[in-house]
Amino acid sequence: MLSKIPHYVTKYQTKFALENWQIGTTLADSFEIIIIIPAIKEFENIKRLVKSLLLNDNKYFKKTLILFVVNNDVSTDDEIKSDNKKSLEFLSKLAGQDNVSNMMISLENKSDLTISFIDASTNGNELPLKDAGVGLARKIGMDLALNYFSYEKSKPILVCLDADCEVSSNYITEIYEKFNSSSIEAASIRFEHKLEELEDINKAIINYELFLRYYVLGLKYANSPYSFFTIGSSMACTAEVYCKIGGMNKKKAAEDFYFLEKLSKNYPIVNINSCTVFPSSRCSWRVPFGTGQRVNRFLSNVQNEYVLYNPLSFVILKNWLEVFMMDQAVSADDYLNEAIKINPGLAQFLSDQKFEIEWTKIVENSKSAEQLMRQKKYWFDGFRTLKLIHFLRDHSLGLSQMFDALDELFMLMGIQKPINRNSSFPSQDEQKEYLFILREVTN
């Protein structure tokens, strides 16, 4: 612990911090930005990512720590453990270099980037079977990072990245400067999946990214406060807000969704669009959903992937939020009557969610108009928003053909779409055009 630890950190550590792991190298300095990277069976990808980071502008390298969390659980097979062992050996050598660029890449200027690791893989250090997964790995890294910030110098920044990513050459500089030149406390960083040479993989990743961006664009149209991406490899926050919301969760999947949702209930999620994370487009076994599993599902051809939520879902959401988020609060019956006028499915959903009981509790426990507005946002949160969209899909609206839905949402939002497709199923080049438009309007 090289810098005086603020009270909010010690308070968090007393209540939530993990103590079973430690950073694997002696760190001579404290830092202002720490990038935490979970890694399981990522030896080759770690090398690519480190090269990508070394190609960044070195303006803030001395202030930056790259912290890998090499992890597996006690039941992991020998192939994964062997790959993790190679990662640990490689990172240990890298951490011991006076100039990591000498080992990795030819650079004109000496690299001052510090790289270290946490061993959550070898015998006695493995993740417990009950909680083993990406959420716990991120939490281990983020919790330990709290001991290595220069709290007295600037705003300490925790950044989440994944080992199978690459980053733009201004990644570190832009994140550091955006946080330190404004009031940003939490951020979602621009991402773009890497398009691959293999046609089937390319089709799969274009399809998946269209799905992701369409949903966020729909939330933007509806003026939802949760219209941001929840991508684990492209999120960041200050150490202070990390501690104040209780830190990272231990979920095996969707840890990013729940972490960012929790942050967003207390702090605005700001988009940092001036740098880019490039997540891998590979198939994956690591989590039960997300990019890797969607690519797997697409390639297995088990269902029609060229469908999206009906655009009317977002119209209904928009109309509901206009009523519910008004400054003036009304009774539960009045809200439900308005919901029936908007859409009977919305009213049924609210009834199923016990809205009448919940709203009565909210009103009773809110002592000011400001608190009441905050409780509205808490109740109709990102998860309940997604549940509404799924309820409408399953009970009334169904799904829409992907490109018809995109066209309709573009029209609703007044987005110019210079794509003149002649069929319901565009060519791959036309699909890329849709993707490029969505990247611009959702970042």
Please tell me the distance from the alpha carbon of residue 115 to that of residue 51, in angstroms, as a whole number: 12
Q: Is the distance from CB of 32 to CB of 149 less than 8 angstroms?
A: yes
Q: What is the pLDDT along the chain (443 residues), one digit of tens a residue?
A: 456 899 999 999 999 988 899 999 989 779 999 999 999 999 999 999 999 999 999 999 999 999 999 999 999 999 999 999 999 999 998 887 656 556 565 554 556 899 999 999 999 999 999 999 999 999 999 999 999 999 988 899 999 999 999 999 999 999 999 999 989 999 999 999 988 766 787 888 899 999 999 999 999 999 999 999 999 999 999 999 999 999 999 998 899 999 999 999 999 999 999 999 999 875 554 444 455 566 667 666 666 778 999 999 999 999 999 999 998 889 999 999 999 999 999 999 999 999 999 999 999 999 999 999 999 999 999 999 999 999 999 999 999 999 999 999 999 999 987 787 777 788 888 999 999 999 999 98
Q: Is the distance from CB of 394 to CB of 345 less than 8 angstroms?
A: no
How many C-beta neighbours within 10 Å does residue 26 have?
A: 7
Please tell me the distance from the alpha carbon of residue 174 to that of residue 359, in angstroms, as a whole number: 42
Burial code (b: 16+ CB inside 10 Å, e: under 16) for 293-313 equals bbbebbeeeeeebbbbbbbbb
Please tell me the distance from the alpha carbon of residue 88 to that of residue 122, in angstroms, as a whole number: 9
How many C-beta neighbours within 10 Å does residue 228 have?
A: 24
Helix (H, G, I), strand (E, B) or coil at 268: coil
Q: Is the distance from CB of 382 to CB of 286 less than 8 angstroms?
A: no
Please tell me the distance from the alpha carbon of residue 280 to that of residue 403, in angstroms, as a whole number: 24
* Residue owning tokens 């959420």: 135
Q: Against a cut of 0.85, is the pTM above it?
A: yes
Beta strands 166-167 and 269-278, pairing class: antiparallel
* Residue owning tokens 């016990």: 354
Q: Which CATH number fits domain 7-300: 3.50.50.60, 3.40.50.2300, 3.90.550.10, 3.10.129.10?
A: 3.90.550.10
> At residue 113, what are phi and psi to the nearest 5 degrees?
-75, 130
Helix, strand, coil percent content, the chain, rounded in steps of 5:
50, 15, 35
Please tell me the distance from the alpha carbon of residue 418 to that of residue 401, in angstroms, as a whole number: 19
Burial class (CB in 10 A: 0-12, 13-18, 19+), 36: buried
CATH code 3.90.550.10 region(s) in the chain: 7-300
Please tell me the distance from the alpha carbon of residue 31 to that of residue 308, in angstroms, as a whole number: 44
